[in-house]
Amino acid sequence: MSQVSPQTMANAIRALAMDAVQKAKSGHPGMPMGMADIATALWTRHLRFNPQDPKWSGRDRFILSNGHGSMLQYALLHLTGFDLSMDDLKAFRQLGSRTPGHPEVDITPGVETTTGPLGQGIANGVGMALAEKLLAAEFNRDGFPVVDNRTYVFLGDGCLMEGISHEVCSLAGVWKLNKLIALYDDNGISIDGDVRGWFRDDTRGRFEAYGWNVIGPVDGHDINAVDQAIAQAKESAEKPTLIICRTTIGKGSPNRQGTAKVHGEALGDEEIAATKAALGWTYGPFEIPQDVYAAWDHRAEGAKVEKEWQQTYAGYKAAYPELAKELERRLAGDLPDQWDAAVMDAVCQAAEAAETVATRKASQKALNALAPVLPELLGGSADLTGSNLTNWSGSTSLNTGDFHARHISYGVREFGMSAILNGIALYGGFIPYGATFLTFSDYSRNALRMSALMNLRAINVFTHDSIGLGEDGPTHQSVEHIPSLRLIPGMDVWRPCDTVESVVAWASAIERRDGASCLIFSRQNAAFIDRDEVDADAIAMGGYVVAEAPLGEGEAQVVLLATGTEVGLAMDARAKLAALNINARVVSMPCTNRFDRQSTEYRQSVLPPGLPVLAIEASKTDLWWKYFTGRGDVLGVDSFGESAPAKDLWIKFGFTVDNVVSKVEALLQ
């Protein structure tokens, strides 16, 4: 048995944090030094993981919500035996390293989510804990707890000050996520100094009001006390737990501990030497003695724990082979065998019905067709289910306390909802989506960005897409939102024009495994587009010729390029232009992001070089100009809307057949 003391093990974390930040001349040493003892208690006595199999599904999840202290996690991963070398630590914050400034999922083995924007880590943790509870309810059987892990979150004052923490922690209490355990680094310091000048919440009272179990304050530098608090938290049968750990930021630094000075800058060689002396750490930069490595090494224990789980799973698989097969499929992210047929049936049904409905209703029809063959589809809405139409026939609601539910009411918590979706997607076993009005995507914005940054299979649904929602006025009428969402790297933004495109949009978002999607739907009716041929593959390309120039065999003189409900306007204008002997091609572009990834040859076949183009979309005009290789113009909305019936607003802002015709005539002149 190791003779290395737990305190020495914690000091190894402090030393690595100081050395890496000093070498990089950038970073946050204070939090890793302050939370080193807490981390030692959790990682050596409670956390269930296998460093040699970071993706083992039975592992506990660990989230560093206060992600600026990333060297804490990197030190832990290195010391416990993950594939993260000392050279990786020496490359902290350098170009191309596996130790970036904030933890990034799929960059560093053992990192479960990308953190840094404060509050979103705890939100992801709530999503993971919810996914675990839902998946366990569906798949576990007596004697076979194959889905059975805890989610541990480290968080600080900044996470608790961010409003998103209120949204998601309230929900965690409602959902009784008892396997969620958060450890709060209560050090009283943020970048501007002593937090009492701006943060005096009764944190205990706040979390008790949410329905959480609250332990502490405990001495965050007493490893045994933290150990006992975690053990107590694990006994909670119905409530998530917050453990309040009183700590000193920069613990061990003689001249900087307990001050903002140690929060976000290197200590300097002189102060590091003084700190190591005070800690009794006699080793040089990046030097860890073998006995300390041996004390931290978790590979043998991790392999043992995983083997025990594998034995349980083997028994489960023998007793319930079909359940095991389904669980494996879902955790792998594969779609069911009947998926392709269900999509084609839904497309054909939409084409045959030829309904003129709002695309939010078309979306619900698509869900009714697709959800029955996709048990992993997990929906929700931020208190707008009846407006977003995100539920479907036969779907059950989590509101009832039934954890076999497939639809979640998140309440008026748009940001929290989107960040929870990210956590669910990270956990696996579900394809999550959540919905609100498009204008409230502003509230969700940073979670949407994180979803794209992490390449998550998460779907955000936004309805009431433009001035077409009418009387609610400019506070609710989205103008800049669609273009701004398209600007997020890696985000696919779909705005379908009718029932057929709505099915393809849903299918494309569900099938996408390498990134996030937004689906934009209308409140106003969308005319069904009467196509000569329904080509789902062409629609899935993001942009396609929905109607060719109608006048004989003559080539098109102009392209009408439109999205959403405005495709119907383009089709009507095409007919009137034909009466004026002007040959117009109509291109529907439900997803500019998808279209932009197509080959040059394909894009030029849809938008021939040099051909005049009129783009039509009820949103800001700026992004459409990139599609013009010759003359071009945009019919859009570059000001806020107004409160009035939609029919009056379309006229006021120029979305009429006559105005489209006039703009085309001006282009051709």
Q: Active-site residues: which are they?
A: 414
CA–CA–CA angle 387, 392, 393 (5° rounding):
130
263 among the known binding-site residues?
yes
Q: Which residues pair with 408 in a beta bridge?
A: 380
189 among the known binding-site residues?
yes
495 among the known binding-site residues?
no
416 among the known binding-site residues?
no
476 among the known binding-site residues?
yes
45 among the known binding-site residues?
no
As a whole number of angstroms, the distance between CA 224 and CA 236 comes to 19
Q: Write the single-letter amino acid at 286.
A: F
118 among the known binding-site residues?
yes
Q: Write the single-letter amino acid at 370.
A: L
Number of other CB atoms surrounding residue 25 within 10 Å: 10
470 among the known binding-site residues?
no
523 among the known binding-site residues?
yes
Would you call 9 exposed, middle or buried from its count of C-beta atoms within 10 A (0-12, 13-18, 19+)?
Answer: buried
28 among the known binding-site residues?
yes
Contact between 432 and 510 under an 8 Å Cβ cutoff? The reply is: no
User: What are the φ/ψ torsions at residue 411 (nearest 5 degrees)?
Assistant: 70, -175
Q: DSSP per residue over 41-100, as a string?
A: HHHHHT----TT-TT-TTSPEEEESSGGGHHHHHHHHHHHT-S--HHHHHTTT-TT-SS-
User: What are the φ/ψ torsions at residue 299 (nearest 5 degrees)?
Assistant: -65, -45
SS (H, E, C) 300-313: HHHHHHHHHHHHHH
Q: Write the single-letter amino acid at 465.
A: D
CA 249 to chain CA centroid, Å, is 30
360 among the known binding-site residues?
yes
As a whole number of angstroms, the distance between CA 1 and CA 13 comes to 21
Strand pairing of 558-562 and 189-190? unpaired
Burial track 395-404 (b if 16+ CB lie within 10 A, e otherwise): bebbeeeebe
543 conformational bin, left if phi > 0, alpha if psi -120 to 50, beta if neither: beta
Q: Residue holding tokens 């076949």?
A: 605
46 among the known binding-site residues?
no
106 among the known binding-site residues?
no
Task: Write out the two tokens for 266.
Answer: 């290197």
Residues contacting residue 54 through CB under 8 Å, at least 6 positions apart:
82, 109, 110
* Peptide bond before residue 217 is cis, with ω within 30 degrees of 0: yes
Query: Binding site membership for substrate: which residues?
Result: 28, 263, 360, 387, 464, 472, 476, 523
Query: Binding site membership for Mg(2+): which residues?
Result: 157, 187, 189
Query: Binding site membership: which residues?
Result: 28, 68, 116-118, 157-158, 187, 189, 263, 360, 387, 440, 464, 472, 476, 523
